[in-house]
């Protein structure tokens, strides 16, 4: 049956304990159809919220420094659904595209004939096309999608897009090639993913180079994949002396001067003193990645060339504490302290690293009488990414306060909903 309010009310009757194996599979399919139907209802709500935000924007620019009008619906959605700002913005974009340009795909989702990720695939893949070509591609794949998995849907879409716009596909490849970039992010257990987005032919050649170098490394109990990772590290970090260090196994340290005059690598780790001296095995914090083990922290801390800076925490709250002069521009010490204390942008769902944020006065600085309020002290400073700094400064509906004792930041949305964000606790 097509999903809807009438069928949703009987879903609790699908008791897995009373169903046969075949019945459980049928029940799973029925639940999946209803999940798609609910997500279609969310699309309608998200599209309406986005339209509300667009209608509420003032005409023109808010100030000379802002590029166009900024729609802050994603901040409300992020806080309400406990999503990151990036995820909320993506949900709004998909809803806007489905509601405005892909009614056939939205209808398939609402009837439970496709899943939400297939609908997302349509908006992502066709987003590079003009509306007429996008409509052609949607019409070409719509009849096939109910019988396809998400990955298959993406492959069909890619083929139809090249077929519909071959010259555009060539130009997009040239553009993406100009936008090639490094990527790296944290993973669990003190690990990280490191790589690059680059042309496929270059990736193939790099694979060959890594495999060839891995073949020259001694086994030493390592698997092939371990040798490939060590070979990659060796080629990048020890590239000028790759032959002499082939058996190094991919070890290295922060602050070490590389062969051939390479500049030192800067790695910031926040680690308690008792961990440094081996009295505790609590985790440390590697800037840009997250928690690492005490052993990893000590290895970095005692490596040749490491520089130590002292930071002090309040034992009860785990917050960094520091007192600095009250001038409009923070001193270098104050800036380092606030960045280390908060770690991220203080908007509740934002993950922008603090070192890439602006330092904002929570209570505006009083240029005429600095003693009257808004002083440049850590208790009144907060890292905000450029987007959320602009939102706090220019959007009349958003307000923010910070409790000087607990460090908790409270944001109030235009709707009156409040969302809190605690500071980083270095004891946890």
User: What per-residue confidence (pLDDT) applies to 323?
Assistant: 43
> Range of 328's domain?
320-421
> What's residue 49's pLDDT?
94
pTM of the model: 0.65
The last residue of a domain, from among 203, 222, 251? 251
Report the DSSP pairing between strands 320-321 and 312-313.
antiparallel
Q: Please state, for a pLDDT cut of 90, what percent of the chain lies above it.
A: 38
Task: List, for residues 1-14, the tens digit of each pLDDT value.
Answer: 889 999 999 999 99
For the chain, the domain total comes to 4
223 and 362 both lie in a single domain: no
Q: State the pLDDT at residue 253.
A: 31
**Gap between the Cα atoms of 358 and 268, Å rounded:** 19
Phi, psi of 92 (to 5 degrees): -65, -40
Same structural domain, 309 and 344: no
One-character DSSP codes across 166-202: HHHHHHHHHHHHHT-EEEEEEETTTEEEEEEE--HHH
Same-domain status, 17 and 40:
yes
Q: Do 359 and 279 share a structural domain?
A: no
C-beta contacts of 206-214 below 8 A and 24+ residues apart: 209/235, 210/235, 213/242, 213/246
Does 159 or 153 have the greater pLDDT score? Answer: 153
Q: Are residues 229 and 370 in the same domain?
A: no
The whole-number pLDDT of residue 257 equals 32
- Among residues 280, 313, 346, the one where a domain terminates is 313
- Which residues face 193 on adjacent strands? 185
Residue 278 within a domain: yes
Band of residue 158 on the pLDDT scale cut at 50, 70, 90: confident
What pLDDT, in 10s, does the model give residues 168-203?
A: 888 888 888 899 999 988 888 888 999 999 887 678
Residue 267 is predicted with a pLDDT of 62
Identify the residue with better confidence: 302 or 347: 347
Give residue 230's pLDDT: 93
Looking at residue 248, the DSSP 8-state letter turns out to be: S
Residue 279 counted as domain residue: yes
Q: Are 328 and 316 in contact (CB under 8 A)?
A: no
| Cα 55 from Cα 216, distance rounded (Å) | 63
pLDDT at 194: 92
Beta bridge mates, 197: 181
- 405 pLDDT more than 80: yes
The values of phi and psi at residue 102, to 5°, are -130, 65
End-to-end CA distance of the chain: 50
In a domain? residue 240: yes
- What element of type H or E holds 230? helix 224-237
Residue 327: the pLDDT is: 53
Element (H, E) at 412: strand 409-412
Residue whose pair of structure tokens reads 């003190």 in the numeric block: 190
Looking only at the bridges linking them, the beta strands covering 269-270 and 284-286 are: antiparallel
Does 47 reside within a domain?
A: yes
Query: What confidence score (pLDDT) does residue 67 get?
Result: 41
Among 176, 200, 221, residue at a domain's last position: 176
Task: Verify that 325 and 285 share a domain, yes or no.
Answer: no
**Average pLDDT estimate for 381-398:** 89
**In the predicted model, what is the mean pLDDT of residues 309-315?**
62
Are residue 215 and residue 234 in the same domain, yes or no?
yes
Partners of 393 in beta bridges:
none
**Measured CA angle at 359 (ends 316, 82), to 5 deg:** 65
Instruction: Tell me what pLDDT residue 255 has.
Output: 32
C-alpha to C-alpha distance for 349 and 81, rounded to whole angstroms: 10
Asked whether the beta carbons of 37 and 4 are under 8 A apart, the reply is yes
Contact status, residue 271 vs residue 285, Cβ threshold 8 Å: yes
Q: How far is CA 32 from CA 8, 16, 37, 62, 111, in A?
A: 11, 15, 9, 44, 11
pLDDT of residue 252: 31
pLDDT digits (tens, 9 = 90+) for 209-252: 898 899 899 988 999 899 999 999 999 888 744 444 433 333 23
Question: pLDDT averaged over the chain?
Answer: 82
Q: How many residues does the chain have?
A: 428
257-261, 275-279, 304-308: range with lowest mean pLDDT: 257-261
Using the predicted structure, report yes or no on whether residue 289 has a pLDDT greater than 60.
no
Residue 372 lies in a domain: yes
Q: Which SS3 state, helix, strand or coil, does residue 47 take?
A: helix
Q: Look at residue 203 in the predicted model and tell me its pLDDT.
A: 81
Q: Say if 145 falls within a structural domain.
A: yes
Answer whether 383's CB lies under 8 Å from 337's CB: no
Top mean pLDDT of 66-75, 272-281, 400-409 is at 400-409
Identify the pLDDT of residue 247.
39
Highest mean pLDDT among 51-65, 102-116, 270-284, 407-421: 102-116
Q: What is the pLDDT of residues 341-389, one digit of tens each?
A: 888 899 988 888 888 899 888 888 776 776 666 777 888 889 999 889 9
pLDDT in tens, 43-97: 999 999 999 888 877 666 555 444 445 678 889 999 999 998 889 999 999 999 9
Residue appearing with tokens 């599979």? 25
User: Residue 17's pLDDT is what?
Assistant: 93
What Å distances lie between residue 293 and 41, 190, 290, 297, CA to CA?
44, 7, 10, 6
- Same structural domain, 30 and 71: yes
Residue 193: inside a domain: no
Question: 104: which residues sit within 8 A by CB, 6+ positions away?
Answer: 138, 139, 142
Mark whether 158 and 287 lie in a shared domain. no
Query: Same structural domain for residues 247 and 278?
Result: no
Same domain, 119 and 159: yes
Kindly state whether residue 264 falls inside one of the protein's structural domains: no
**Residues 161 and 109 reside in one and the same domain:** yes
């Amino acid at each position: 049956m097509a999903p809807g309010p009438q069928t949703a009310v009987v879903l609790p009757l699908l008791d897995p304990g009373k169903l046969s194996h075949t019945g459980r599979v049928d029940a799973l399919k029925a639940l999946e159809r209803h999940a798609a139907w609910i997500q279609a209802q969310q699309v309608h709500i998200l599209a309406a919220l986005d339209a509300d935000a667009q209608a509420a924007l003032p005409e023109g620019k808010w100030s000379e420094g802002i590029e166009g009008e900024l729609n802050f619906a994603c901040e409300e959605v992020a806080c309400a659904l406990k999503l990151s700002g990036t995820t909320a913005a993506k949900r709004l974009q998909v809803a806007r595209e489905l509601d405005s340009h892909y009614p056939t795909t939205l209808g398939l989702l609402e009837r439970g004939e496709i899943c939400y990720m297939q609908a997302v695939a349509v908006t992502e893949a066709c987003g590079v096309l003009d509306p007429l070509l996008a409509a052609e591609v949607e019409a070409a794949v719509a009849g096939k999608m109910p019988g396809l998995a998400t990955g298959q849907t993406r492959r069909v879409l890619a083929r139809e897009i090249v077929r519909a716009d071959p010259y555009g596909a060539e130009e997009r490849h040239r553009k993406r090639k100009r936008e090639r970039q490094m990527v790296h992010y944290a993973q669990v257990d003190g690990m990280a993913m490191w790589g690059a987005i680059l042309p496929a032919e270059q990736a193939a050649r790099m694979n060959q180079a890594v495999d060839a170098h891995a073949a020259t490394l001694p086994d030493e109990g390592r698997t092939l994949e371990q040798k490939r990772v060590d070979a990659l590290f060796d080629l990048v970090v020890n590239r000028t002396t790759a032959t002499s260090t082939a058996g190094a196994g991919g070890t290295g340290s922060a602050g070490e001067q590389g062969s051939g005059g390479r500049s030192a690598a800067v790695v910031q780790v926040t680690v308690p003193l008792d961990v440094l001296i081996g009295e505790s095995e609590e985790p440390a914090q590697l800037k840009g990645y997250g928690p690492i083990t005490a052993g990893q922290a000590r290895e970095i801390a005692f490596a040749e060339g490491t520089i130590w800076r002292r930071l002090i925490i309040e034992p009860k709250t785990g917050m960094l504490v520091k007192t600095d002069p009250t001038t409009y521009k923070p001193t270098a010490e104050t800036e380092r302290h606030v960045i280390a204390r908060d770690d991220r942008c203080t908007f509740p769902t934002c993950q922008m690293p603090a070192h890439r944020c602006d330092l904002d006065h929570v209570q505006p600085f009083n240029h005429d009488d600095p003693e009257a309020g808004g002083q440049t002290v850590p208790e009144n400073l907060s890292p905000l990414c450029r987007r959320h700094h602009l939102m706090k400064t220019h959007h009349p509906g958003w307000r923010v306060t910070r409790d000087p004792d607990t460090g908790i930041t409270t944001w109030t949305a235009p709707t009156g909903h409040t969302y809190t964000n605690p500071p980083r606790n270095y004891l946890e």
